Amino acid sequence: MPNPSLITDADLARTYHSGAYEDPYERIEDYRRVIEYAAEHPNRGSQAIATALELPRGRIRPWVDSDAKPDPMRGVEAAERNGWLRLAYDDPEFRALNRLVAWVFSGGSIAETNFTPKFTVESDAEADQLRSDFETLGVEPTTERDDDPDRATELRPTEHGTVLGRVLHVLGAPVAHKNPDATISLPAYLDDAPDVIRRDFVDVYLSNRAVDFEDKRMLQVTEQRSSEFLNELAALFEDVSGESVNVSATNVYLSAAAAEALCEK
């Protein structure tokens, strides 16, 4: 079933600065009005169009005279070209986006300044999975390695990377810090998502964050985040596995049965 509310052009537009507008999406709506009017009246200049549409000439002149576009419009067009808007849960692009959202939560970040996402990888298998998801989304990745041998390798998208980061944020991926004081919740789309989407999210999260606990049959996920988030995470693990999951101040403990259910392929 299509889920157009998951990633709309309006939500994507609202990740941009509003400029003179209270709502950044209004910039797109005005731009579309101007371009449509200009196409229907090719002999009218920016002043005549501004008067007809009751818009400031200085605002629309670059759109009419210089083929300029508002940043939100460019972002929406890039997302449209890559097939990132108005997806269904079973679209390959949405499955890839869902995994990247999980990666931001568990082993990545989105820069607050420009929305560029980065993803930490610890193994060739993880890097291969990320590259596969990038390929599905039509994005070329680049690898960043640090001189410090103890630091993990990071992958990030190149072209349209900042738009991809905004799309991930629209889906619920946090931007910048993920510390205990940050207000972070799991993506709302997981509530109604089919099992395969929820399972993909959990698989990525555990791959990045889970470690063996005690007798190596249980799993432990340590997070320096709010108790509300830890309880959300435990509830997701428990629901997907159908087995018991417990929470402490900074840890989520998956029982042996839960670990077995979630780690079986």
What CATH number is associated with residue 196? 1.10.10
Considering the domain boundaries, does residue 176 fall inside one?
no
Of 114, 140, 171, which marks where a domain is finished?
A: 171
Same domain, 203 and 133: no
Query: Across residues 218-236, what is the average pLDDT?
Result: 93
pLDDT above 70: residue 149: no
10 Å CB burial of residue 22 (0-12, 13-18, 19+) is exposed
pLDDT above 60: residue 1: no
pLDDT-based confidence at 2, cuts 50/70/90? very low
Same domain, 48 and 13: yes
Cβ neighbours around 4 below 10 Å, total = 11
Q: b vs e for 188-203, b when ≥16 Cβ sit within 10 Å of the residue's Cβ?
A: ebbeebeeebbebbbb
Same domain, 69 and 14: yes
Query: Across residues 192-202, what is the average pLDDT?
Result: 96
CATH number at residue 132: 3.10.28.10
At 19 the pLDDT is 81
At 122 the pLDDT is 87
- What are the helix (H) ranges across 91-226? 92-107, 124-136, 161-171, 195-209
The letter for the amino acid at 56 is P
Same domain, 70 and 141: no
Instruction: Name the least confident of 17-31, 190-204, 213-227.
Output: 213-227
Q: What percent of the chain has pLDDT over 70?
A: 92
Of 171, 203, 222, which marks where a domain is finished?
A: 171
The H or E element spanning position 65 is: helix 57-65
Number of domains in the chain: 3
Same domain, 72 and 108: no
Query: Across residues 180-185, what is the average pLDDT?
Result: 78
Same domain, 114 and 45: no
Domain with 62 in it: 9-80
Considering the domain boundaries, does residue 2 fall inside one?
no
Cα separation values, 77 from 9, 63, 73, 110, 177, Å: 9, 15, 6, 21, 29
> Is 63 in contact with 35 (CB distance < 8 Å)?
yes
Q: Which residue has the higher pLDDT, 213 or 53?
A: 53
Considering the domain boundaries, does residue 178 fall inside one?
no
Same domain, 43 and 109: no
Considering the domain boundaries, does residue 149 fall inside one?
yes
* Distance (Å, whole) CA 50 – CA 60: 7
* Distance (Å, whole) CA 42 – CA 26: 23
Query: Across residues 80-86, what is the average pLDDT?
Result: 94
Same domain, 62 and 38: yes
At 103 the pLDDT is 97
Of 139, 171, 203, which marks where a domain is finished?
A: 171
What pTM, to 2 d.p., does this model score?
A: 0.92
pLDDT above 80: residue 87: yes
Same domain, 242 and 205: yes
